[in-house]
Amino acid sequence: MPANHHGSLVILGDRGVLITGDPGSGKTRLALGLLTHAAAVGRFARLVSDDQVFLKAANGRLIGEAPSGIEGLAEARGFGPAAIPYERRAVVDLLVRLVPTEVAPRFREDETVNLEGVELPCLRLAERDTESALFAVAAWLAFPPFEGAS
């Protein structure tokens, strides 16, 4: 039985990135920014789920899936849920945890987190700082302008 988690999941290139954090921390804004950036640099980019994600472990990998009521929707603040291209599910390769600025490290720490019994690399990034978080994830993925940097 999948567990429901508060977060947004996107596919960027061939990687699944799960974004978690407190309400109002910028999860959707970062997800949409990452989708826009990936598409702008010619990489595959799709939303899997915004706000809620069903997670389950399968063969040592973590699989995320959108609940049926919110498939293909992302919240556009000031507008509401809006249709967006999506994929039904994805393997999660990276956890991005949006945290208060005062506890976010300045540089990447080689941190891992166990989620549903699966160990994942984790980036703790400052909440509500979409631009900095976007570039940190791009660097982790070796997306432009950071190709070959990881």
CATH of 3-119+127-141, one of 2.30.30.90, 1.20.1250.20, 3.40.1710.10, 3.40.50.300: 3.40.50.300
Kindly list the distances between the CA atom of residue 111 and the CA atoms of 72, 79, 105, in Å, as whole numbers in the listed order.
Answer: 31, 36, 11
- Tokens at residue 76, please? 């556009």
pLDDT of residue 108: 87
- SS3 category, 147: coil
Q: Taking a C-beta distance cutoff of 8 angstroms, is the pair 84, 121 a contact? A: no
| Global model pTM greater than 0.85 | yes
- CA geometry: angle at 110 spanning 32 and 47, to 5°? 20
pLDDT in the model for residue 149: 46
Closest alpha carbon to 96 in 27, 46, 45, 149: 27
pLDDT (tens digit, 0 to 9) for every residue of the chain, 150 residues total? 789 999 999 999 999 999 999 999 999 999 999 999 999 999 999 999 999 999 999 999 999 999 999 999 999 989 999 999 999 999 999 999 999 999 898 888 889 999 999 999 999 999 999 999 999 999 999 999 998 644
Residue listed under structure tokens 């949006």? 98
